[in-house]
Amino acid sequence: MSDPDLRGDPESVFDEYLDAAKSLYALFEESESKDVEILNNATGAGKLALASRCSDAQLMSQAERLWSWFNLKDDRGALDESIGLAESTVASSKGSPYLPDFLHSAHIERAVEVSRQAVDLEPDDDAWLSNLGSNLESRYSWLGDPTDLEESITYTRKSLEAASEHSPHLPTYLVSLGSKLQLRSEASGDGADADLSVNLIREGLDHKTAKKADRPLHLSMLASALANRYSRKSNAEDLLGANAILSSLLNDTSPTNPDRSAWISNLSNNYSIILEQKRIRHHITSEDLNRVIGDIEKTLDALPPSHSDRGAMCAALSTLLRARYKADIDTTEGNMNPEDGLKNLKLASFWMENATDHVKKDSLQRATFERNLGMQKIALCEATDGADKALLTSALDHLNLSIQATHASPLGKIEAIRGMIKGLCLTKDFDKARIRAREALDLLPLVCGRYRTLDDQQYAVMKTAGLAADCCSLSLRAGDGHIEEALEQLETGRGLILGYLMDDHGEDYGSHPSYDGLPGKKSVDKDLAEYERLRFKVSRKITTQQEPGVRERLLEQQKDAVQQLGRCIDRIRAHDGYENFLRALKVEKMITLAADGPIIVVNVTDIGADAVIISRDVGGEDNEKDSDGIALLPWLWQTCVEPVVEELDRLGLLHKHGKHSPSRVWWIGSGIASSLPFHAAITLYVKRELLDNNNNIASIISSYSTSLKALANARYLATGYLHHDKNDSAPSAKKISVLVVTMANTPNHNALPGAEKEGQAVKQACGDIFKCDILPSPNVQDVHSRIPNIDIFHYAGHGMSDPRNALDSHLLLQASPSTDAVAKSEVGKLTLGKISAVSLRASSQAESRRPRIACLSACSTAEVQAQKLADEGPHLAAAFQLAGFSHVIGSLWPADDSVCVQVAQTFYTELINVTTSGGYNKGGEPGKGGKEPTEISNKAVAVALQKAVSQPQARYGSKPFQWAPFIHLGP
């Protein structure tokens, strides 16, 4: 390229130099080697152009090149010169839409200010709107103020609306908006934002005006969005897809590309996630790990000491080393050399310390690094049993700094607090740990909001699994023990999802006047009506099939309705008698639930194991330490059930058989105790010490509940009875209706010949007393539509609990009503989500609140296999209670076909006996009739199940696997 003729027309001279600068800069951008000499020549040509004619556009062109030089070489002088040139254009009315790009690192506040000035001058300029959105996003990344992120999203949306359909910037705006929604999803756990971010970035990549030069950057943003969606939805394809994109970018670009460090860092973080997930760990090899670790070390060696990427690179290396340490423990089954483990942990801590030192103290990233550093030091303390007091103090200091950060996310604060709890428990400082735990519990509603989607709530609960149980354990160990506080904390922080659904399905039994004897509702009718209107608006389903623009607007409207709903609830609580509207149960309310028998709350955590007895008259507490017994029932009896039963007997809360009807006891398991068979331990191991002077042994009927709130809900629904008129020839006679669904043959599953036998056994037991219909091999719609119109639902078939997503646990049915052979090869799923959405509220007051019964003769219908959701109790039996069945018979594990048939027949026979005999007498036996009409009381259901199980128990004796899976949930 020849030098321009300086004797010619100044305009021509300028144009030639400017063309030279542009050509050289384009050559630099397109080259794989990113030759620094080319960029240097482009910068020189730009300066010569400026010397011939100075205008805003040329100043900005020169500033752009200087900015690129700064990015490549971290040359602070180039940055300062770039800022000076750029700011000299502020006085003009137009300026450059890209001006604030040069101010991000050094002058972020100035960047936002200048962008706002530009938008004020030209509010419809898409470039300025987009630029303001980007600068607000940058400030959010530095400081973490969520207001900046929301504003950023708003202005980026406006830039999309302002841009023409053929604008060359449209792909960039789409990708930019997707990236910002990803950030919001990371902060809030919003699944809709996670989906939308991926879709928008893909739309930008595929847009007809997309530039080839922008593709690497946009692909890297897609990789980040996919990784974020994996963390939210656990779809392995997302994370593996992100890794494929990053690996491809690293393979196809020059080692001097300034974006490589970010790509390596992101790939390393993804590898860390994979290492911590056993089910996908096989997707990476030790060679993969060594390669990415080597890439990080090379990149760190090449970066200047003050380079802005060093912090993220150090953090990525630290996280990867910690993840590899955890994976090594798993692969060696805990037999790893302790010295090797400590070495890896110390190395991880060293690199996280480096990362923390390289970011600003008031930045959002600093809060994250402080938390990670504190957690890694806590892990070191745990590995040495807290021997290094200085290390423990340092760990707690780092975690405390993370918690105190101005804009740290609630989820991040909860994680840091739980790390502090671990550290404080190492020194047995339960008082301080209890105070911290209370802080974390107060943050829980911000993480798992009442009006978020079920998917979002489940994600939040999995991220905070066990928090309420830990709070309970700490309260019982702090000082003299805080039993009432422990129970209230347990109710506040567990069973959140089911509790929200109970509130949304009907009356708020926790503050309803007819339940509490509180004043009438006249003064709050307006607010309650507004609450129902907003609740409907918030719960309106928004699908991915809707147009992106429409879906975005609906999501924004929904978020606004959530805020209005929160204010509406506050107004309702301000009225006399409604102070506890939609709040967790207080201890006074819990005690009223023990009117028919004591409630035993069993809480087991890493901190300790406890059982708390709730009774109307007397309360007691018994602490037992964990045991590693191999046989479950003997261990369960010795460490938990026996001490509880003896305490109940000492308090006079057990009735002796022969003098009174059997005693009822409700079990509520928390933590790892959520699926323990307490009833089986009682049946096998109740001791002769409980005999009275007449050798009458205490007879205990065990029932279960997922929480005290769930028990209150079931009892509220069952304030009436299931009535049956024996005079079925009368015109007004109404028989109890039973629907039996049998799935003897389920597509792609083992045949269950006993299902048909079970259906016939139920029908035979019902005789002409109950109206019994059998529905063989129905489809989902058939069953779903009939559930609201029956009294008793009985299912005999396959049940599936999803260990990763409890909301997908289901009963198996046919998928389609078609008789076509292909259709019959498909399987239908009546999921927990579909069941819980059914409302069984009767239309007339006379028929409302009837205790309907659901018998689920299927595998594990009362078991939670998703361990991180154990405290929520989201199993199929709980879903039927949400649908309005106050009594549910479920199973803790798979049951034998023949036993299911026998239990079902005896269960309905007992119900028939009670129905035709006028209930149970004081001795617990069916009466001799005389009531007209007769009724099935709450107690009758539990007694009928106990009698039904007694026959296989007598047959199989010490083999509880055969007879003990069946349990009763309800009042």
Contacts (Cβ under 8 Å, ≥6 apart) of 393? none
Token pair in block for residue 714: 């079931």
Considering only 24-38, 142-156, 746-760, which range has the smallest mean pLDDT?
24-38
- CB < 8 Å & 24+ apart, contacts of 14-20: 14/49, 14/52, 14/53, 14/58, 17/45, 17/46, 17/48, 17/49, 17/52, 18/45, 18/46, 18/49, 18/58, 18/61, 20/45
Q: How many residues does the chain have?
A: 971
- pLDDT at residue 428 above 50? yes
Contacts 24+ apart (CB under 8 A), 912-915: 912/765, 912/766, 912/767, 912/769, 912/770, 914/940, 914/943, 914/944, 915/724, 915/736, 915/769, 915/770
pLDDT for 523-565, tens place per residue?
A: 677 887 787 777 666 655 555 455 556 656 666 676 677 778 7
Helices (H), 618-741: 632-636, 642-650, 678-685, 708-717
Distance between CA atoms of 801 and 862, rounded to whole angstroms?
A: 9
Which pLDDT score is estimated for 305?
80
Distance between CA atoms of residues 868 and 854, nearest Å:
26
pTM of the shown model: 0.65
pLDDT band at 372 (very low <50, low <70, confident <90, very high): very high
| pLDDT band at residue 388 using 50, 70 and 90 as cut-offs | confident
pLDDT in tens, 256-276: 777 888 899 999 999 988 888
Average pLDDT along the chain: 75
333 pLDDT more than 70: no
3-state helix, strand, coil in the chain (%, to 5): 60, 10, 30
Which of the residue ranges 60-74, 103-117, 425-439, 450-464 has the most confident prediction, judged by mean pLDDT? 425-439
Nearest to 358 by CA among 370, 374, 348: 370
In this prediction, residues 733-742 reach a mean pLDDT of: 84
Rounded mean pLDDT, 124-137: 88
In this structure, how many other beta carbons lie within 10 angstroms of the beta carbon of residue 710? 22
Q: Is 363 helix (H, G, I), strand (E, B) or coil?
A: coil
pLDDT of amino acid 97: 42
Query: Which position has the higher pLDDT, 358 or 78?
Result: 358
DSSP, residue by residue, 283-327: GS-HHHHHHHHHHHHHHHHHS-TT-TTHHHHHHHHHHHHHHHHHH
Mean pLDDT of 408-413: 83
Q: Show the tokens assigned to 768.
A: 């002409």
Number of Cβ within 10 Å of residue 338's Cβ equals 10
Which range has highest mean pLDDT (330-344, 638-652, 916-930)? 638-652
The answer to whether residue 817 scores a pLDDT higher than 80 is no
Determine which of 260-264, 618-622, 941-945 has the lowest per-residue pLDDT on average: 618-622
Tell me how far apart the alpha carbons of residues 374 and 378 are, in angstroms, rounded to a whole number: 6
Q: Please name the helix (run of DSSP H) or strand (run of DSSP E) that holds residue 377, with its range, or none.
A: helix 364-383
CA nearest neighbour of 785 among 817, 823, 755, 763: 817
Q: Which pLDDT does position 935 carry in this prediction?
A: 65
| pLDDT at 578 (0 to 100) | 78
The answer to whether the CB of 459 falls within 8 A of the CB of 232 is yes
Q: What is the pLDDT of residue 542?
A: 56
Percent of the chain whose predicted confidence (pLDDT) is above 90: 20
- Tell me the C-alpha distance between 940 and 948, whole Å: 12
Lowest-pLDDT range of 17-31, 40-54, 482-496: 40-54
pLDDT band at 69 (very low <50, low <70, confident <90, very high): very low
User: What's the CA gap between 805 and 825, in Å, rounded?
Assistant: 25
pLDDT tier for residue 886 given thresholds of 50, 70 and 90: confident
Task: List pLDDT tens digits, range 161-204.
Answer: 999 888 889 999 999 999 999 998 888 777 888 999 999 999 99
| C-alpha dihedral sign at 598, 604, 605, 610 | positive
pLDDT tens-digit series, residues 279-303:
788 888 888 888 888 889 888 888 8
pLDDT at 479: 67
Quote the pLDDT of residue 53. Answer: 41
Burial class of 451 by CB neighbour count within 10 A (0 to 12, 13 to 18, 19+):
buried
Lowest-pLDDT range, 744-753, 764-773, 870-879? 870-879
CB atoms within 10 A of CB 500: 18
Residues 688-709, mean pLDDT to the nearest whole number: 64
Pick from 81-90, 575-584, 780-789 the range whose average pLDDT is largest.
780-789
Q: Which of 21-35, 313-327, 614-628, 941-955 has the lowest mean pLDDT?
A: 614-628
pLDDT at 228: 92
Under a CB-based contact definition with an 8 Å cutoff, are residues 572 and 526 in contact? no
The mean per-residue pLDDT over the stretch 125-152 comes to: 86
pLDDT confidence of residue 480: 62
Q: For residues 714-720, give the mean pLDDT.
A: 73
pLDDT-derived band at 394 (thresholds 50, 70, 90) equals very high
Best CA proximity match to 741, nearest among 811, 805, 676, 806: 811
How confident is the model over 633-639, as a mean pLDDT?
78
- Pick 564 or 926 by higher pLDDT: 564
Return all residues near 365 (Cβ < 8 A) that are at least 6 apart. 141, 142, 311, 312, 359
The mean-pLDDT minimum among 15-19, 107-111, 173-177, 337-341 falls in 15-19
